[in-house]
Amino acid sequence: MKVLSYRRSLRSPRGGQGRGIVKFSGRSFAFAAAGAALAACLTTAPASADTAQFSNGVKVTIHTRGDGTKPPAHLGNPTEWGVAEIPMDDSTGGVRPMVIENVGGGQWSYGWYLTTGGKYCYSNYYHLTVEHGSTVKIANHSVKDIVPAGDTSNANRTAGAGYVCYAWYSKY
């Protein structure tokens, strides 16, 4: 019934029973063509990264080689990598002490602890079948650990309480 009432509203003010349906069909065709063109453009665009913003304030982005994003120089040339941006304030309450993510076929844990020397930022990654690593960057200094398949990489660094911590995992 809604379709019929919609068709009636598209009728020409000059009358003509068939003209309203023709206009409706013409508009439908125009919208369908525009939608198809838009869909074609979207499917030919390069793949983008997966990004998630969690309620605990942590932003996680996952990339794969060929998605149009170059990895940071300190990671080398990974086939896949992910980064967690961890603000060093109370908005990340759920991050202390640890977040565990199942990504890239492995298990990635990252977070921070408050120590007497400041905030201890860490990233650990375990993958059974490929060489992999973890990296942290805080206060403009980074630490990276690359290990063979089956081992757990562990990167960590301590800096002042106000710095943002970046934690990466990578597969090579």
The domain ranges of the chain are 2-44, 50-171
pLDDT band at 4 (very low <50, low <70, confident <90, very high): very low
Question: Taking the chain, what is the end-to-end CA distance rounded to the nearest angstrom?
Answer: 59
Beta carbons of 169 and 106 less than 8 angstroms apart: yes
> For the chain, what is the largest distance between any 2 Cα atoms, rounded to a whole number of angstroms?
83
Condensed to tens digits (0 to 9), the pLDDT of residues 93-127 reads 545 557 888 999 999 999 988 888 888 999 999 99
Give the per-residue pLDDT at 3: 36
169: pLDDT strictly greater than 90: yes
Condensed to tens digits (0 to 9), the pLDDT of residues 18-53 reads 554 444 445 444 444 444 443 443 333 334 556 665
Give phi and psi for 53, each to the nearest 5. Answer: -110, 115
* pTM for this entry: 0.66
Condensed to tens digits (0 to 9), the pLDDT of residues 54-74 reads 546 788 999 999 999 999 999
Give the per-residue pLDDT at 99: 84
Cα–Cα distance measured from residue 1 to residue 7, given in angstroms and rounded to the nearest whole number: 10
Beta carbons of 150 and 107 less than 8 angstroms apart: no
Beta carbons of 101 and 107 less than 8 angstroms apart: yes
Omega before 97 cis (within 30°)? yes
CATH architecture group of domain 50-171: Sandwich (2.60)
Condensed to tens digits (0 to 9), the pLDDT of residues 75-94 reads 999 999 999 998 766 554 54
> Angle at Cα 69 formed by Cα 152 and Cα 63, nearest 5°?
35
